[in-house]
């Protein structure tokens, strides 16, 4: 069986995939993440995922299957990972009481072949109205660090979420149903 390489150091992505495939290997990508403001959020997410997969493909064996992903939050503009607490506060205030999109770009490729699949998933997330005190208490947890949009739905950030439309695992960082579909259709691998 081909080794499955997760091209991400994200503990959330690793946790999601580890439930399905015990032979998962993790190798981080070292690309510099750059977003082009002239491109759509889905194209940015897919481009970054593909760059991560390409980077990791240079450091693994032939016939390995690489899965890379990049998640971003979008509401009129791309909201990446916050630089500091102040930026995180501003993002959460901006998302308060409204609906935003979470895009995850996915790139799956088999090394030593021309099989490369790039796709994305979008999930709509509705936030309740957030009081300043709630935002500050959340920021005190430090959970916002290294999270697109400054929150983690799988953690304490769930308190902000009024509802979602689409894949929950996509908001966590990896749309499992879509990944399984790509693996089975193009690589003859099933996660279960």
Catalytic residue positions, numbered: 70
- What is the pairing mode between strands 161-165 and 116-127? antiparallel
**Sign of the C-alpha dihedral, residues 146, 147, 148, 151?**
negative
Nearest CA to 151 out of 126, 188, 186 is that of: 126
CA distance 177 to 135: 32
Question: Do residues 106 and 120 make contact, with C-beta atoms less than 8 angstroms apart?
Answer: yes
């Amino acid at each position: 069986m081909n080794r499955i390489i997760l091209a991400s150091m994200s503990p959330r992505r690793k946790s999601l995939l580890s439930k399905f495939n015990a032979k998962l290997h993790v190798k981080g990508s070292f690309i510099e993440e750059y977003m082009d403001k002239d491109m759509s959020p889905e194209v940015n997410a897919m481009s970054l995922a593909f760059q991560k997969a390409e980077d990791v493909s240079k450091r693994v064996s032939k016939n390995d299957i690489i899965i890379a992903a990049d998640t971003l939050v979008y509401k009129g503009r791309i909201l990446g990972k916050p630089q500091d607490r102040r930026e995180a506060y501003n993002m959460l205030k901006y998302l308060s009481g409204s609906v935003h999109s979470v895009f995850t770009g996915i790139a799956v490729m088999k090394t030593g072949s021309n099989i490369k699949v790039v796709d994305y998933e979008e999930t709509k997330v509705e936030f309740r109205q957030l009081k300043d005190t709630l935002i500050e208490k959340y920021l005190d947890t430090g959970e916002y660090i290294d999270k697109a949009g400054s929150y983690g739905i799988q953690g304490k950030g769930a308190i902000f979420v009024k509802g979602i439309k689409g894949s929950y695992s996509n908001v966590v960082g990896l749309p499992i149903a879509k990944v399984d579909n790509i693996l089975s259709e193009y690589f003859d691998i099933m996660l279960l």
